[in-house]
Structures are given as C-alpha cells and as structure tokens.
Amino acid sequence: MLLTITTKRYPATDLGYLLHKHPAKVQTVELTAGSAHIFYPEATDQSCTAALLLDIDPVKLVRRGSSGHDFSLEQYVNDRPYVASSFMSAAIAHAYSSAMNGRCKDKPHLVDEAMPFEVTLSVLPVKGGEYLLRQFFEPLGYEVSVQSYILDEQFPEWGQSRYFNVTLRHTLPLKTILSQLYILIPVCDNDKHYFVGGHEIEKLMEKGQGWLDSHPSKELITRRYLRNIGPLAKEALGLIMRDDVLPVEVKEPKEKVRLHDVRLQAVRDLLLELGVSAVADMGCGEGKLLRLLMEKSAFKRILGMDVSYHALEIAQSKLKIDRLPEQQKARIQLIHGSLTYRDKRLSGFDAGVLVEVIEHLDLPRLQALEKVVFEYARPQYVIITTVNAEYNVLYEKLEAGAFRHSDHRFEWTRAEFEEWGNRIAEQFGYIVTYRPLGEVDEVLGGPSQLALFKR
C-alpha cells in the first residue's frame, strides 16, 4: 500500500520542509503492525513527490489480536497487508504528524498556504465502490480519478472489485489534505480491525474541523469512522452537527420492522390520496397491507393474491376472515395464483400494489409479471416498491454486495429502478413518478423506493 503526495509549486522541494522529511534520506517509522517507509522518488524545484510505503507484517497483525476471527484462515488469508485502511491513517499520524498538526519549524509561513497537490493511493479498498468514493471526496473539491479492477476477468458478471487506484487533485494547505485522508481512508475501507474508543471522537472532531460539519455525507462518514458503535456515533454526530442534531438510530435490526411499517403506511396513504376504492395487493404475503386497508372504509373491494399458499393461510387467520361480519367479509378476498401467469381475477381494479415483490423474481419471470400486471390486469394505478441498493452500505452488518434478504434475486439502485420503471411506463402507456420511502439519507436516498404508475 502506497501513498504519494506530489506538488509542482515552485520550489517544489518545500514539500520536504512541510513534511519534516529530508528528500535525500529514506526514513522508516515503526508501527504496531509493521513499518512505514518514507522516500522521495522525485525531488526537484519543479516537481517533488513524497512516498509513504506501508509494510504491514501479517504475523504482527495476528499477534496484536486485531484481525477478526470470522473464518479460521482469515489471519493468513486477508487483504490487510496490501491495502490502505486504518494502518495508513496510523502511518500518516506517525510519519507526518507535524505536517498534519500544522507545524513547520523552518518555514512556518508554508503551513497555511494552499498549494496544488496530487495524491495517489494504491490500493484503496472502498466498501460501496466508486460511487461512494466520489461522494466522500468530490464535495470537498477534489478532482477524483479512479482506476478500478474487475473481480475476475473470466467472470465479468461478478462485477468490479472493491479495490481502486485513486488519484486526488486539489489546491489546499497540506495539513488539510492530510487530515482529510486521515479520516476518509478508513471510512472508505470500513473494515473492523480498527480499534474505536472514546478518544476517537476527539480525533474525528479535531481532524474534521472546518470541513466535516458541512460535508453532505457527514452522517455516513461519522458512522463509519466510529463503526459498529451506535452510541458513540450518536454522541459524535451530536457534537459535529451541533444545532441541527439528528436523532441517529442504530439502523438494524430494529429498523427492519419499522421500515416495513413505514412503507405500508405510505402505500395506504397514497391509495387514499388517489381516491381509489378497489385495490389488488399482488404478492400480499401474510396480509399486513390488507389489514391496514381493511381499517379504511374508503376501500370497498380488496383482493390479496400470493403464490405462497402458506402465506395466504397466515393472512386468512391474521385477518380473522372467517369471523368477520358479512358486510366486512364481502369487501375482502384472498386468491392463490402467480403474477407470472395471465389471470382474469386481477382485472377490474382501480389500483394494483406490489410491495417488495419484484426483487423476489428472476429477471425472465419479471418480464412475465410486467405483462400480467400492466397489459392484462391493467389497473388505473400501479404502485411498486422495492429496496434501494445504494442504501445498503448503511447497514453495517451487511457485507459489500450482499442482499438484504436471502430470497432477493436482485436489488436495484435508484437509477436502475427508474430505468426499469421508465421502460415499463413507455411500453404500456403509463406515466410514472418516484419517491423514497423511510428515513432519507441525503446522498444515498431512502432505504426503500416507490414508483407510482398512472395509466
């Protein structure tokens, strides 16, 4: 893992004064899990580059007891010796401490001078990929270029790896750049070997001064920097955001339950707003939405349909359909069927609703569903909700690239959902609008997303 810092501000060798490291010498500092070497591949008045090379000792790493024990070989087979992560932060803090703290004995006037710098990081692991990497650095004014790698050339469908060569360009005082790298490198990685204690909040406050509180992703940065420690992140966010303190909840697993309720309420409210009276809940599952709909007399005809007979039995008993008075019983009907086959029973409704259903179908079957819902059933309105994959990075326990539910066949970003929805609307003659569901993150959107189609 290598960090280089280059400037062409004349005389470029002033970088040596700023970093407190003589360009003619190779220096080594010892770290808890290895060492860091500092040297200058180039040092002229026109251009000067300082390189910080991390040399992590995997054995020391294990002795330190800091690598997780998620699987038995992890201590031998892991990416830690090769990637940046929090060891790079530790190396920056050790090797460049006076520069980061704004001290320069011989040329103090350099400390606050904004200079053009080019920073390269290879290899930087980014959980959440290039999109998040840009979300972290671009709002601070960095020009970001990224070289990414596909996981396996023989299997391009596996997609991109989470490792990147990154180049950042900006004109800033060096101490600001170092502070931002110090915080953002481990935030990108989001690995768990990093020890987070109470003093980490102070470090975050100190190094984040002047930029973190106005960063659009401050919440995500704080949460990841203080990862896995809900109350700490909460306290830090309170400190960083001062007046506009947001209540920050540990997002899971409690939220899973809550999010679903939020989603169902939102769908019912929308149906009321649209003034529909006959609703088909397609893929109704155990009937949670049906129950909410039954509470409102505006809904005169309610149909629940699912491919799972077992789910329907549960719905039947939860809704106590057998014991309903005749008038109520006449409002609701449960039917067994699949949304991938044309079904006359689905015709004649004002609205069709599919809450978290589409992601359970393989793409070829989804195509069949599209026709069944939009061409044959063809209600005035169709409401479709699905998870927003971009939001997954906020679920700390979710591995990168993993799905929220084991039966999910895909999870879409907002752009992917909209691309799909726009195509459907065009193809079947509907107008579509989108909205987020649940607590919205400024950058990543809501945990779930909704599309409303109007014929």
Query: Which residues are at the interface with ligand SAH (CB under 6 A)?
Result: 283-285, 288-289, 306-308, 311, 338-340, 355-357, 360-361
Long-range contacts formed by 262-265: CB under 8 A, 24+ apart: 262/437, 262/438, 263/355, 263/356, 263/385, 263/437, 263/438, 263/448, 263/450, 264/288, 264/289, 264/292, 264/355, 265/292
Residues linked to residue 170 through DSSP beta bridges, in sequence order: 117
Residues 201, 155: Cα–Cα separation, whole Å:
42
- Nearer to ligand SAH by Cβ, of 217 and 448: the residue is 448
Q: Report phi then psi at 60, rounded to 5.
A: -60, -35
Residues 313, 75: Cα–Cα separation, whole Å:
48
> Minimum Å distance from CB 292 to ligand SAH?
11
User: Nearest CA to 135 among 245, 221, 241, 209?
Assistant: 221
- Nearer to ligand SAH by Cβ, of 60 and 365: the residue is 365
- Nearer to ligand SAH by Cβ, of 84 and 437: the residue is 437
Question: Do 387 and 262 contact (CB within 8 A), yes or no?
Answer: no
Residues 86, 196: Cα–Cα separation, whole Å:
11
> Minimum Å distance from CB 376 to ligand SAH?
14
Q: Can the peptide bond before residue 253 be classed as cis, meaning omega within 30 degrees of 0?
A: yes
- Nearer to ligand SAH by Cβ, of 318 and 423: the residue is 318
Burial label for 257, CB within 10 Å (0-12, 13-18, 19+), is: exposed
Tokens of 356: 């978290």
Q: How many residues are there in the chain? A: 455
> Minimum Å distance from CB 267 to ligand SAH?
9
> Minimum Å distance from CB 362 to ligand SAH?
10
Residues 178, 92: Cα–Cα separation, whole Å:
7
> Minimum Å distance from CB 426 to ligand SAH?
24
Distances (CA, A) of 348 to 80, 112, 269, 345, 417: 59, 70, 21, 8, 27
Angle, helices 85-95/174-189, rounded to nearest 10 degrees: 160
Burial label for 155, CB within 10 Å (0-12, 13-18, 19+), is: exposed
> Minimum Å distance from CB 377 to ligand SAH?
12
> Minimum Å distance from CB 339 to ligand SAH?
4
> Minimum Å distance from CB 405 to ligand SAH?
8
- Nearer to ligand SAH by Cβ, of 16 and 283: the residue is 283
Distances (CA, A) of 125 to 196, 351, 400: 19, 45, 11
> Minimum Å distance from CB 308 to ligand SAH?
4
- Nearer to ligand SAH by Cβ, of 140 and 276: the residue is 276
- Nearer to ligand SAH by Cβ, of 85 and 385: the residue is 385
> Minimum Å distance from CB 383 to ligand SAH?
11
- Nearer to ligand SAH by Cβ, of 220 and 357: the residue is 357
Residues 149, 161: Cα–Cα separation, whole Å:
6
Question: Do 99 and 3 contact (CB within 8 A), yes or no?
Answer: no
Q: Which residue is nearest to ligand SAH (CB)?
A: 285
- Nearer to ligand SAH by Cβ, of 95 and 361: the residue is 361
- Nearer to ligand SAH by Cβ, of 409 and 455: the residue is 409
